[in-house]
Amino acid sequence: MILVTGSAGFIGANFVLDWFARHDEAVVGLDKLTYAGNLENLASLKDDPRHIFVRGDIGDAELVTKLLKQYRPRAVINFAAESHVDRSIHGPEDFIQTNIVGTFHLLESVRAYWSGLADEEKTDFRFLHVSTDEVYGSLAKGDPAFSETHRYEPNSPYSASKAASDHLVRAYHHTYGLPVLTTNCSNNYGPYHFPEKLIPLMIVNALAGKPLPVYGDGQQIRDWLYVKDHCSAIRCVLEKGRLGEVYNVGGCNEKANLDIVHTVCALLDELRPRADGKPYREQIAFVADRPGHDRRYAIDARKIERELGWKPAETFETGIRKTVQWYLDNQGWVNNVQSGNYRQWVEKNYAGRD
């Protein structure tokens, strides 16, 4: 079996759901269920014997050690993190605790477990760390896309904390020989994306008749990848990646934020027109910029394509249409996230449990 941390978050949940669509290998999910963790994302696995969910912190060495001993995973895939740049600006401490200190404790627990494995299991074991392109900083127009050897220049507390975690993972390979793999991916979008991030926020605000807040001039560029393509890249790196290597993952889909918002509005105009017949883009409101806002990200994904044969399956046009449709079809999920009802459900579900 494999141990997946952060399995109730956006990408972790998509990864687990996609895993079971392809494998019968069991998954132990470990998630602290912060505001971003939502067990409703995994509701379809409720009675699935292949899936075990444990609520807990990657930094809880006692718990993680117990889980490793009990379930003896062949791999650990680390999605757990505080992931929202704006929140890291308002309150960096949780980012330091989970992304740096938590990853450190997780690495220590995993190292102790791995050291005690028999030779063959030890050789086959993998620790895959899921990271971000934001560790590389910001690109100017015309700069070449981030390659794996681009220098680290993180600009936000979030990206600095992810950069620190990447360095720890690297050090555990070089110093202790822990068989690690790291992926640095660009912006994801798709089902179960928490509506604090650009694309889901624009969809839910548009439908609710609220303003669509675009930071600054809206000309910041991100390189968008459909979440299921990120999941396929992680499976590919887990299976075939060279130990100690870093693989950049991206969709070759550079878009300015304002263009993204226009695309979402146009799709909603087509799929769920406003009652008054006016276009959704009338709701766009330019607001104060994010402090220290990175101007452009772009990923050079040639290494993973060349070495491992990975390529995204979705274009931006197909992926964004599926995404908008998913939000239209899953208003119940959106309502529960917005009202906080999913949290009450979590409290209820966990009341009285060990």
Residue ranges that bind ligand NAD, judged by CB under 6 A:
5-6, 8-12, 30-34, 36-37, 57-59, 79-83, 98, 102, 130, 132, 162, 185, 187-188, 194
Strand-pairing partners, residue 247, are 183
Asked if 47 contacts 166 with a C-beta cutoff of 8 angstroms, the reply is no
Binding to ligand DAU, residues 81-100 (CB under 6 A): 83-85
State in angstroms the smallest separation of the CB of 257 from ligand DAU. 4
Asked if 125 contacts 75 with a C-beta cutoff of 8 angstroms, the reply is yes
> Which two structure tokens, joined as six digits, stand for 224?
């968008």
- Helix, strand and coil in the chain, % to nearest 5: 50, 15, 35
Asked if 316 contacts 224 with a C-beta cutoff of 8 angstroms, the reply is yes
Alpha helices (runs of H) in the chain, residue ranges in sequence order: 10-22, 61-71, 85-90, 93-95, 103-115, 119-124, 157-176, 198-207, 227-240, 257-271, 302-308, 316-329, 331-339, 341-350
In the list ligand NAD, ligand DAU, none, the entry touching 102 (Cβ below 5 to 8 angstroms by class) is ligand NAD
The residue (of 121 and 143) whose beta carbon lies closer to ligand DAU is 143
Binding to ligand DAU, residues 7-36 (CB under 6 A): none
Q: Which of 213, 238, 334, 345 binds ligand DAU (CB under 6 A)?
A: 213
In the list ligand DAU, ligand NAD, none, the entry touching 244 (Cβ below 5 to 8 angstroms by class) is none
The residue (of 85 and 181) whose beta carbon lies closer to ligand DAU is 85
The Cα 40–Cα 134 span in angstroms is: 28
Q: Does residue number 186 form part of the binding site for ligand DAU (CB under 6 A)? A: yes
The residue (of 181 and 260) whose beta carbon lies closer to ligand DAU is 260
State in angstroms the smallest separation of the CB of 132 from ligand DAU. 3
State in angstroms the smallest separation of the CB of 200 from ligand NAD. 11
Angle at which helix 198-207 crosses helix 316-329, to 10 degrees, equals 50
The residue (of 57 and 283) whose beta carbon lies closer to ligand NAD is 57
Q: Which of 297, 310, 316, 342 binds ligand DAU (CB under 6 A)?
A: 297
Q: In the bound complex, which residue of the shown chain has the CB atom lying closest to ligand DAU?
A: 132
Q: Which of 220, 232, 263, 283 binds ligand DAU (CB under 6 A)?
A: 220
State in angstroms the smallest separation of the CB of 14 from ligand NAD. 8
Cβ-Cβ contacts under 8 Å for 131 (sequence gap 6 or more): 162, 165, 166, 182, 183, 184, 185
Indicate the length of the chain as a whole number: 354
Pairing of the two strands 2-5 and 225-226: unpaired
Active site residues: 133-134, 158
The residue (of 297 and 327) whose beta carbon lies closer to ligand DAU is 297
Residue range at the interface with ligand DAU (CB under 6 A); choices 89-97, 215-223, 244-252, 331-339: 215-223
The residue (of 54 and 112) whose beta carbon lies closer to ligand NAD is 54
Q: Does residue number 257 form part of the binding site for ligand DAU (CB under 6 A)? A: yes
**CA atoms lying within 13 Å on the CB side of residue 101:** 10
> Which two structure tokens, joined as six digits, stand for 304?
């993973």
The Cα 65–Cα 69 span in angstroms is: 6
In the list ligand NAD, ligand DAU, none, the entry touching 130 (Cβ below 5 to 8 angstroms by class) is ligand NAD
> Which residue, 51, 10, 56, is CA-closest to 30?
56
Cα 217–chain centre separation: 26
Can you give the binding site for ligand DAU, defined by CB under 6 A? 83-85, 132-134, 186-187, 197-198, 201, 213-215, 220, 222, 257, 290, 297
